[in-house]
Structure formats: C-alpha cells, structure tokens
Amino acid sequence: MKKIILILFLSLSLLHADNLTLSITSGFDAPETNLIHSVLKEGFKRAKIGLHYHTLPNQRSLINANRGIYDGEAARIWEINKLYPNLVRVPVSIHSIDLVVLSRKKIFITKVSDLKNYHVGVIRGMKIAEKIAKNAKPLSITIATNHITLVKMLSNDRLDLIVTNKIGLLTDLSKSIEKGFYLVEKPILSRPLYMHLHKKHKNLIPRLEKAFESMLKDGTIKKIQDSFLNDIEDKIKDTLKVIKDDSQFSL
C-alpha cells in the first residue's frame, strides 16, 4: 500500500512539473515585444515550461516582477538586479538594445566619439542614448518624446543625427511620410539583454539557460531576429538606405 501511495505521489509530482507555467512581463512596446515573445516562447517550449506573456509599461513591468506579482521579466540589462534585488538573471542573452545612427546626409558614424562634431537628437527616457550622447559632448543635444518629432527636425536640418534603438526607430519610420535617410547598419553601441526570474523560481534557471543556449547554438534566436528585422526593413525600403560600410558613402 505504501509503495502504491509513493508511486502515485511521484506521478502527480512529475505531472505538476510538466504543467508548470510562468507569467513573464515585458516593458517593450509593440512590435518589439512580439519579437521577444517569439524567442521566449521557443525557449520555454524547450525547457518544458508553460508561458504566459504580458506587455506592461516599462517601469511597472520591473516593479511587478521584482515584487513577485509576476514570475519574471523578459529582457533587461545584466546589472538590473542591483536596483531590483529580487530578480535573478538567466545568463544567456536573448535580445539586445542596438543604438544606431540615422542621418539625412552622408555621415558615417562608427563610434560614440564621432558624435562630437554634430547636432544630435535622442529620445527622452532612453537613458543609454542620453548618456552616450552627453559623454560625446556634441555641438548640441535635442531630447524629444518620440522618433517622429526627431525625424522632422532631421528633415528640416535642425539636427544632423539621431541616436536611438534600432527596432523602435525602424518601426516609427514606417509611420512617417519623410524619406531620404541613411542608417549605418552597425550599431555604435549594443547592450545584451537577459531574462530575469523572481528569486522564488531560481531553481528553474538551469533549465531555461540550457534551452536558450541550444537556441543560440542552432541559430534559432538569430533566425527569429533576422525574420523580424527583414519584415520591418521591407516596409521602409523606400524610406532609407542601410549603409554597411563607409565605401557606400562614395559619390
């Protein structure tokens, strides 16, 4: 009888483990949040963990995950747990913030210090862009609440360059009527992003780490990212020219 009870207990435990589902939040806006969701969906599938994915305002997403209202946060910088100590990272990068430069003229920017000779625009609240622009000491810094405003200023020669997150910029350019821009393909700065779990689920980190590692090794993450970017770039192919190297700036 004891053996039967033990077998039933173990069976129920395994069933419970297989049916484990986590609620994960993201502070990214659409459509970028859809890209992150696609990566997490495949990773959780490989880890045999169910996923409920939620998009929230940026700060609220972190606060709720840190409080344990949700089970984790989808994509944040490595050191975010210095500010939100209840979050524990899964140490495999699943996404990145790629800061790129948009210009109206043929200006080839390859590093942050190149910004010093130009009038630069950034998005308010995009702290990484604000910080590197300030450190470069450009001729001026304009801070706006959205890309459309900065794009119009670029078209009116009130700015020389915009420094911002690539996916957000490309998404907003698809809504703009302005055309004739140059975008340097290589980011001037990239910050890898990591999924974080609330500490009550830290025992699941090895499973998710293994799953994401397998996606990196077999190219799945890159395939998802490339497909997403290709769809966006196809929508704005008549709006801007993507520059791969400085030879493309020759007249």
Which has more confidence, 207 or 15?
A: 207
Residue 141 sits in the same domain as residue 245? yes
Report yes or no: 160 and 153 within 8 Å, Cβ to Cβ. Answer: no
Rounded CA gap, 108 and 152, in Å? 20
- Say whether pLDDT at 163 is over 50: yes
- Indicate if 10 and 85 belong to the same structural domain: yes
Report residue 161's pLDDT band, with 50, 70 and 90 as the boundaries. very high
Residue predicted with more confidence, 127 or 28 = 28
Kind plus residue range of the DSSP H or E element containing 95: strand 87-103
106 lies in the same domain as 153: yes
On the question of pLDDT at 6 being above 60, the answer is no
Total domains in the chain come to 2
Res. 144 pLDDT band, cuts 50 70 90 = very high
What digits encode the pLDDT tens for the residues 113-131? Answer: 999 999 999 988 788 898 8
Residues 126, 59: one domain?
A: no
Say which residue the tokens 């008549």 belong to: 238
Give the separation between CA 169 and CA 82, rounded to whole angstroms: 29
Residue type, 114: D
**Residue 2 pLDDT:** 52
- Which pLDDT does position 193 carry in this prediction? 96
In 27-86, at which residue ranges do the beta strands (DSSP E only) sit?
Answer: 50-55, 72-76
Taking only the tens place, the pLDDT of each residue in 85-119 is 999 999 999 999 999 999 998 888 888 999 999 99
The answer to whether the CB of 138 falls within 8 A of the CB of 215 is no
pLDDT tens profile 39-67? 999 999 999 999 999 999 888 999 999 99
Same domain, 202 and 181: no
Measured distance CA(188)–CA(184) in Å, rounded: 9
* The predicted structure's pLDDT at residue 251: 32
CA distances to 102, 107, 112, 130, 208 from 136, rounded to whole Å, are 17, 16, 6, 10, 38
Is residue 191 within 8 A of residue 97, CB to CB? The reply is yes
pLDDT tens by residue, 182-198: 998 889 999 999 999 99
Residue 249 is predicted with a pLDDT of 46
Looking at the fold, whether 116 and 198 belong to one and the same domain comes out as no
The closest of 61, 86, 74, 92 to 206, measured between CA atoms, is 92
Single-letter residue type at 77: I
Cα 24 to its chain centre, rounded Å, is 15
CA dist., res. 99 & res. 162, Å (int) = 10
According to the model, what pLDDT value does residue 246 have? 58
Cβ–Cβ under 8 Å, residues 75 and 221: no
Q: Say yes or no: 243 and 158 in one domain.
A: yes
Q: What length does the chain have?
A: 251
**Residue bearing the bigger pLDDT, 250 or 18:** 18
Per the model's pLDDT, the better-predicted residue between 73 and 246 turns out to be 73
pLDDT value for 16: 44
What is the rounded average pLDDT for all residues in the chain? 88
Task: Verify that 147 and 212 share a domain, yes or no.
Answer: no
**How confident is residue 142, by pLDDT bands cut at 50, 70 and 90?**
very high
Q: Which element (helix H / strand E) includes 162?
A: strand 161-165
Say if residue 14 is in the same domain as residue 91: yes
CATH at 15: 3.40.190.10
Residues 103 and 171 in one domain: yes
pLDDT tens-digit map of 211-228: 999 999 999 999 999 999
Same domain, 111 and 199: no
Same domain, 41 and 88: yes
State the Cα–Cα distance between residues 221 and 73, nearest whole angstrom. 18
136 compared with 248, residue with greater pLDDT:
136
Domain of 242, in residue numbers: 98-189+235-249
